[in-house]
């Protein structure tokens, strides 16, 4: 989407949302009307799973309707902006994953909101890892072999992503920076086409969320070379981390969380956090998420706030050094 058109759309949205004000909500009465959880993506994927799991649990816990609203578009800016400019009363919440922290670096002065000032973090729900994968018949059997070939043949390896600024794109850009290598970026519109391209041989290598590649790894169609976290992925205990495989200092945590508009009362944030933490500690939820490769975190609002601030700083630096731009 053209950024100028997006800005006009969001400007109109801002005026509409700012047209009314309501008394501040309090934890004693919250929620006394339906709550909506905005997912800035199409249905499907873990962001949607998190929102719908929360919707079901909180509806029962609060005895109040909690609904999910998918608002994709504009590289998540449409949904994010809608929440940033909503009334700060706790009745509009946002699911935010790692790419949220990359947007300030990608769009700079064209950002329709301030990622740190216009949101109030509620909970860091969980994290997964991206997995460095190749086809089962690939000549690359290790991270070292991949790095050695890339250094000897700059730009000849094609790597895929689910789009510029996605977590797997950023994972590879950090990898290239720390290894001093160059590869050619081939972006796709989502994980499914990127994985399909890898299986077909259109690209040579791909970082992707563990839930997205795990089925093809277990089926023997893809080989996992490394995981992006600081420790090995529980579902792939025999696969080293990127750092273990020879890239010291490398770490990418693909996190998922929930935020509210800035100005939402602290006691309301605390109540929403408590509800989410209770849900995330449920045995069946831990098992459900674990089977998708997502480890539950269930943080405090302060812990999530610190994570978001650190991630914005980290990925803005990576984007600047890599020269990534979105017009």
Query: Which distant-in-sequence residues (6+ apart) come within 8 Å of 53 by Cβ?
Result: 279, 285, 288
Query: Which CATH number fits the domain that encloses residue 217?
Result: 3.40.190.10
pLDDT at 13 over 80: no
* pLDDT of amino acid 240: 98
CA distances from 61 to 31, 54, 278 (A): 11, 10, 10
User: Higher confidence at residue 24 or residue 198?
Assistant: 198
How confident is the model over 35-77, as pLDDT tens digits? 999 999 888 888 999 999 999 999 999 999 999 999 998 889 9
pLDDT at 255 over 60: yes
How far apart, in whole angstroms, are the C-alpha atoms of residue 325 and residue 5? 18
Query: Which CATH number fits the domain that encloses residue 317?
Result: 3.40.190.150
Q: Residue 126: beta bridge partners?
A: 256, 296
Is residue 17 assigned to a domain?
no
Instruction: Band the pLDDT of 162: cuts 50, 70, 90.
Output: confident
DSSP states along 85-116: TS-SSSSEEEEEEGGGGTHHHHHGGG-SS-TT
Do 147 and 219 reside in the same domain of the chain?
yes
Query: Which distant-in-sequence residues (6+ apart) come within 8 Å of 153 by Cβ?
Result: none
Do 210 and 278 reside in the same domain of the chain?
no
Do 169 and 104 reside in the same domain of the chain?
no
DSSP-derived secondary structure letter, 74: G
pLDDT at 20 over 70: no
Kindly state the average pLDDT of the residues 249-261: 96
* pLDDT of amino acid 152: 98
C-beta of residue 23 within 8 angstroms of C-beta of residue 263? no
Kindly state the average pLDDT of the residues 78-83: 97
* pLDDT of amino acid 164: 82
Instruction: Band the pLDDT of 24: cuts 50, 70, 90.
Output: low
Is residue 3 assigned to a domain?
no
Q: What is the 3-state secondary structure (H, E, C) of 178-194?
A: HHCCCCEEEECCCHHHH
* pLDDT of amino acid 44: 81
Q: Which domain holds residue 157?
A: 130-227
Is residue 169 assigned to a domain?
yes
Do 102 and 158 reside in the same domain of the chain?
no
Task: Indicate the average pLDDT of the chain.
Answer: 92
**Residue from 141, 131, 102 nearest 195 by CA:** 131
pLDDT at 258 over 80: yes
Do 122 and 257 reside in the same domain of the chain?
yes
How far apart, in whole angstroms, are the C-alpha atoms of residue 176 and residue 147? 9
Do 143 and 154 reside in the same domain of the chain?
yes
What are the backbone angles phi and psi of residue 72, rounded to the nearest 5°? Answer: -75, 165
Do 117 and 157 reside in the same domain of the chain?
no
Q: Where are the alpha helices (DSSP H) in 180-300?
A: 191-200, 210-218, 266-280, 283-290
Do 121 and 43 reside in the same domain of the chain?
yes
Q: Is 43 helix (H, G, I), strand (E, B) or coil?
A: coil
Is residue 302 assigned to a domain?
yes
Do 194 and 275 reside in the same domain of the chain?
no
How far apart, in whole angstroms, are the C-alpha atoms of residue 250 and residue 37? 33
Do 75 and 212 reside in the same domain of the chain?
no
C-beta of residue 55 within 8 angstroms of C-beta of residue 95? no
pLDDT at 147 over 90: yes
Q: Is 28 helix (H, G, I), strand (E, B) or coil?
A: coil
* pLDDT of amino acid 313: 96
* pLDDT of amino acid 150: 98
How far apart, in whole angstroms, are the C-alpha atoms of residue 193 and residue 208? 12
Q: In the listed set 182, 209, 227, which residue is the last one of a domain according to the structure? A: 227
* pLDDT of amino acid 3: 57
How far apart, in whole angstroms, are the C-alpha atoms of residue 43 and residue 321? 33
């Amino acid at each position: 989407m053209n950024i100028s058109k997006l800005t006009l759309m969001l400007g109109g949205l801002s005026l509409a949302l700012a047209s009314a004000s309501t008394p501040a909500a309090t934890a004693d009465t919250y929620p006394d009307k339906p709550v909506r959880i905005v997912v800035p993506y199409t249905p499907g994927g873990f962001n949607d799973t998190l929102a719908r799991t929360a919707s079901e649990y909180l509806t029962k816990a609060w005895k109040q309707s909690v609904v999910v609203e998918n608002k994709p578009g504009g590289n998540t800016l449409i949904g994010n902006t809608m929440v940033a400019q909503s009334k700060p009363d706790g009745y509009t919440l946002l699911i935010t994953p790692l790419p949220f922290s990359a947007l300030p670096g990608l769009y700079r002065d064209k950002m329709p909101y301030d990622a740190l000032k216009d949101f109030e973090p509620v909970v860091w729900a969980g994290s997964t890892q991206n997995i460095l994968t190749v086809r089962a018949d690939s000549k690359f059997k290790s991270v070292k072999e991949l790095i050695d070939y890339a250094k000897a043949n700059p730009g000849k390896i094609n790597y895929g992503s689910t789009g510029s600024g996605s977590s797997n794109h950023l994972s590879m850009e950090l990898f290239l920076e720390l290894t001093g290598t160059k590869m050619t970026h081939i972006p796709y519109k989502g994980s499914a086409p990127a994985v399909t391209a890898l299986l077909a041989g259109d690209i040579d290598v791909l970082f992707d969320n563990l839930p997205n590649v795990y089925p093809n790894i277990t089926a023997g169609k893809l080989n996992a070379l490394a995981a992006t976290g600081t420790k090995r992925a529980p579902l792939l205990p025999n696969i080293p981390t990127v750092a273990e495989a020879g890239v010291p200092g490398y770490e990418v945590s693909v996190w998922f969380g929930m935020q509210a508009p800035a100005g939402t009362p602290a006691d309301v944030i605390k109540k929403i956090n408590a509800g989410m933490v209770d849900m995330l500690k449920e045995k069946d939820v831990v098992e459900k998420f674990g089977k998708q490769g997502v480890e539950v975190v269930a943080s405090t609002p302060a812990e999530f706030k610190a994570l978001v601030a650190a991630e914005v700083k980290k990925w803005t630096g990576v984007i600047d050094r890599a020269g990534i731009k979105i017009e």
